Chain A
Amino acid sequence: MSPLEKIKNDIVESQVWKAIFRHGYDDTPRNRVMMVTANVFLHLHPAKVRRHAVRMRFTWCMGGLTFLMFLITAITGIYLMFYYRPVAEYAYADMKYLEFDMPFGMLMRNMHRWAAHAMIVFVWLHMFRVFLTGSYKPPREFNWIVGVLLLVMTLLLSFTGYLLPWDQLAIWAVTVGSNMARATPLLGYEGPFADFVGANPIYDARAFLFGGGEIGPHTLLRFYILHCIFIPLVASILMAVHFWRIRRDGFSGPSL
């Protein structure tokens, strides 16, 4: 027995340890399966996976990391929600308050923002990897569609969040991004054939998005609710479907 193993043995066999952990973990095939099937979170995975599918150069880990970024933004986002009011008079002041007065406020905000950006990069790389391995091919066609919808949700989550700091960067980036909506054919007042529908600046696709003719306090509240409740909810449902389908269809791989 090596000294390290002896130390480990001394700890594990001590009365203090035994009082907390009644019995050890026996590394048997049955226990390995049980660790996965008896755990609500790990149960996302099948009990066994094909050997090639756990290699990093196959998966790039991008799907899982996109989900990790989602979790990080959810947790840091809840922290930010405690201090932030989506009201035009307060929003910017709350940002300053959060950055300078709240414990870990700046760190939480930074993590939230960089994780959101990383999530977009990861989801693009994930799509690229899935394309390269042809993992969208039968029977996984539908899951690719769910994945494309999740990509759109990721972009929308990031875009709606962009407005919330209520600084110059926020409103003008969102203005530029949303101005497209007023050019929607038929439904936007500057779009082709708008006259036939009767779209006008306060009654068209962009006004529906903004909650008014131009970007303002109503837009802030609208984007806040979309950002914190609606889109995360939709994305969560889509993720449940996405993961479930992976679980049912198995990880893709060459046929045996």
Chain B
Amino acid sequence: MAEATRERKLPVDDKVHTWPHLVRMEFLVALFILGALTLWALTVDAPLEEPANPTRTPNPSKAPWYFLGLQEMLVYFDPWNAGVVLPSLIIVGLMVIPYIDINPKGNGYYCFKDRKWEILTFFFGFHILWITMIIIGTFFRGPGWNLFWPWQKWDLHKVVALTNVDLPYLVGFRDYWWSAVFSLVVIGGYFVATIALFYFFVLKVKGKEFIERWGMVRFSITAALVALMLSLPAKMALRLLFNVKYVLVTPWINI
């Protein structure tokens, strides 16, 4: 065994001096960006509208662009969910990423093949959902938060048919209690189905050994987060295809 230890190759020293290699690059990039920013600031003025007037609400009133994804979510969910619960879950979901991702590969280098599903999930949440919602909210929403093409003139009096109905009503329930029971079954069923599908999906692409290594806690957190993330496109589909306003209606909470 002593032989083996002696023969072990020493790690190759692939290090370079921070001064000048890293510092030089930082300096040049900073200089370039500073120059670009100065040019931008010289040519494009920051907006300043008329003085604040609490009695005149502009239509549409838009949040700052980086929050327009959340404002766009308000179309599909009530404010307590789109504005408070889901954003909090986004933050929590981002924070738990290092703990639910136990794939040792791809640590410190670009690699798509070894972490295909991890990257695709992030891509879906960040690019497809977050960025797309911001683009829709910024460029495609006009007065009354109605959809307009960017080149279309904003029609303040655009008539939009209010044909949205609640899901229990759509499928024929008229009684409040039966509607509530049906809604709870649908929502419970959605989570059970999504989590079960997620389980079999992971089983298929990662294998049984992975799920055992992953553990119950990690799986549950990930599955719950995935189900919650997919609830946005699910609700969007219900709204856009079937004009569903709420899935569940109660005196306290609507989903």
Contacts and interface: CB of A to CB of B under 8 A. Distances in A.
A167 B46 contact: no
- Measured as residues with beta carbon below 8 angstroms from the partner, the interface class of chain A is 35 or more
Determine chain A's interface SS by DSSP, over half rule. helix
A240 interface: no
Interface residues of B, number: 76
A25 to B, nearest CB: 10
Contacts of B37: 72, 111, 114-115, 118
Contact of B63 (A107, A127, A177): A177
B16 to A, nearest CB: 5
B80 interface: yes
B46 A176 contact: no
A114 B54 contact: no
B14 A51 contact: yes
A214 B55 CA distance: 12
Given A114-B37, A135-B108, A167 B67 contact: no
Contact of A137 (B52, B104, B253): B104
B138 interface: no
B152 interface: no
A190 B78 CA distance: 11
Contacts of A236: none
Interface string A232-256: 0000000000000000000011111
Contacts of B44: 110, 114
Given A49-B21, A134-B107, A148-B95, A171 B54 contact: yes
A167 B50 CA distance: 6
Interface string B25-69: 110011001100110111011111111111011100111111100
Given A183-B79, A192-B253, A48 B58 contact: no
A168 interface: yes
Nearest to B81: A183
A162 B63 CA distance: 10
B58 to A, nearest CB: 5
A42 to B, nearest CB: 6
A54 B21 contact: yes
B23 A42 contact: yes
Q: Which 9 A/B pairs are nearest by Cβ-Cβ distance? A: A180-B83, A183-B79, A141-B98, A110-B41, A252-B108, A35-B19, A134-B106, A113-B46, A48-B15
